[in-house]
Structure 1
Amino acid sequence: MNLITDPWPWYISGPLIALVMFLLLFVGKQFGMSSNLRTACAAIGAGNKADFFKFDWKAERWNLTVVLGAIIGGFVAAHFMSNNVVEINPEIASQLANDYGITSAGKSYLPPELFATEVLTNPFNIAILFIGGLLVGFGARYAGGCTSGHAISGLSNLQLPSLIAVIGFFIGGLFMIHFLYPLIF
């Protein structure tokens, strides 16, 4: 196994996540991307438009390092720590090609049929992204946090609302992929 280009196994990544969670709990912080993005929005002045963003964001500026780290880490992982190939079950690759026209399955992390720049010229795709973003934002706000915050921080703190939220996220995801996705595409 090459730790640079292969996905990290659970026995390496799991303890690293646990270590980060322990350190955050030790210093009295919680992890979640929606709170990090809330801090970023407050820092650029969104509090002038919505009360939700009116808070002392400077006290939470450590969140901005998490956002910056996610951006830099994603770039480094995609460009320097990846062989850019995902092993996909041949039956799934065939189904993706036959049902959805995704012929690059198993050849790249980001299939160009979904993520190429040309895809963004289609108004239907822009509308789907916009509506999806609104729904995810609303869901994260309504649930009191995002999937990473509830699933990683909330569950590690043994919070019942986080367990309920994570169950709801999974049910919503299953409903979307099995019932709504085929209707949209």
Structure 2
Amino acid sequence: MDFIFEPWPWYVSGPLIALVLFLLTMMGKNFGMSSNLRTLCTICGAGKHADFFRFDWKANRWNLTVVLGVIIGGFIANYGLSPDNAVAIANESSAELHTLGFADAGKAYLPENLFGSQVFTDISSLLILIVGGFLVGFGARYAGGCTSGHAISGLSNLQLPSLIAVIGFFIGGLFMVHVLFPILF
């Protein structure tokens, strides 16, 4: 019974993800989170203002269950499957994050410095969130999908554009962590 109430190991969750992707492929569907934002904007009437949002959103409403599942699954994982919030990271990484001012490095998944409510009162943190959100949204649109769509669905379908996008995501992540992050913080 403990297996149900603790995080599942990769050898259980990995094949389940592969099974879901196989079933989606057999039904002619693609997985991705950024397409859900487009669908939600279309439902809210964005098609009146931009051609990009003029499409048959009802054909994609099945994918909205993914959004609901992510919200419910995240809640269950955080409050029901996580015995503690400690993150297993190398001591060197934790020490380096401490020098950058992250006192909770290795103790919490979301650093309070970046995700606490005080970011809404600090103009520089708020600006970083807004610009970062814009860049992520623009990047997902420019790349033709988000990290989950390309890395999970696109790679499993052996799509070369998804491989190129995933390589770009990793290069961008490394650049952010090793170059921009120390400058910003």
Establish whether TM, by shorter chain, passes 0.5: yes
Could you say what secondary structure the match of 1:102 adopts?
coil
Could you say what secondary structure the match of 1:61 adopts?
helix
Q: What CA distance in whole angstroms lies between the structure 2 residues aligned with 1:151 and 1:130? A: 25
Runs of 4+ in 1 over 6 A off after TM superposition: none
How far the C-alpha of 1:159 sits from its partner, in A, is: 0.6
Contact 1:37 1:67 in 2 (8 A): no
Q: CA RMSD, aligned part only?
A: 1.5
Residues 1:118 and 2:118 aligned together: yes
Q: What CA distance in whole angstroms lies between the structure 1 residues aligned with 2:79 and 2:119? A: 22
Q: What CA distance in whole angstroms lies between the structure 2 residues aligned with 1:17 and 1:137? A: 25
The equivalent of 1:92 in structure 2 is 93
Contact 2:7 2:81 in 1 (8 A): no
How far the C-alpha of 1:56 sits from its partner, in A, is: 0.9
How far the C-alpha of 1:88 sits from its partner, in A, is: 2.2
How far the C-alpha of 1:131 sits from its partner, in A, is: 0.5
Q: What does the per-residue CA deviation read over 1:114-154, in whole Å, with 9 as the maximum and x for residues that have no partner?
A: 22112221111111111011111111111111111011111
Structure 1 residue runs without a partner (length 5+): none
Residues 1:8 and 2:8 aligned together: yes
Q: What CA distance in whole angstroms lies between the structure 2 residues aligned with 1:50 and 1:163? A: 30
Q: What does the per-residue CA deviation read over 1:148-167, in whole Å, with 9 as the maximum and x for residues that have no partner?
A: 10111111001111111111
Deviates more, 1:160-169 or 1:171-180: 171-180
Normalising to structure 2: TM-score of the pair?
0.92
1:142-181 matches, within 5 Å, as: 142-181=142-181
Structure 2 residue runs without a partner (length 5+): none
How far the C-alpha of 1:7 sits from its partner, in A, is: 4.0
Q: What CA distance in whole angstroms lies between the structure 1 residues aligned with 2:91 and 2:182? A: 21
How far the C-alpha of 1:15 sits from its partner, in A, is: 0.4
Same amino acid, percent of matched pairs: 67
Q: What CA distance in whole angstroms lies between the structure 2 residues aligned with 1:81 and 1:49? A: 43
How far the C-alpha of 1:6 sits from its partner, in A, is: 4.8
Count of residues in correspondence between the two structures: 183
How far the C-alpha of 1:3 sits from its partner, in A, is: 3.8
Q: What does the per-residue CA deviation read over 1:94-132, in whole Å, with 9 as the maximum and x for residues that have no partner?
A: 21112x211112222222222211222111111111101
Contact 2:43 2:57 in 1 (8 A): yes
Contact 1:4 1:82 in 2 (8 A): no
Could you say what secondary structure the match of 1:106 adopts?
coil
Q: What CA distance in whole angstroms lies between the structure 2 residues aligned with 1:92 and 1:4? A: 31
Q: What CA distance in whole angstroms lies between the structure 2 residues aligned with 1:7 and 1:24? A: 24
Residues 1:109 and 2:120 aligned together: no
Q: What CA distance in whole angstroms lies between the structure 1 residues aligned with 2:160 and 2:88? A: 36
Amino acid at match of 1:97: H
The equivalent of 2:131 in structure 1 is 131
Q: What does the per-residue CA deviation read over 1:45-92, in whole Å, with 9 as the maximum and x for residues that have no partner?
A: 111222111111011111211111111111111111112222222222
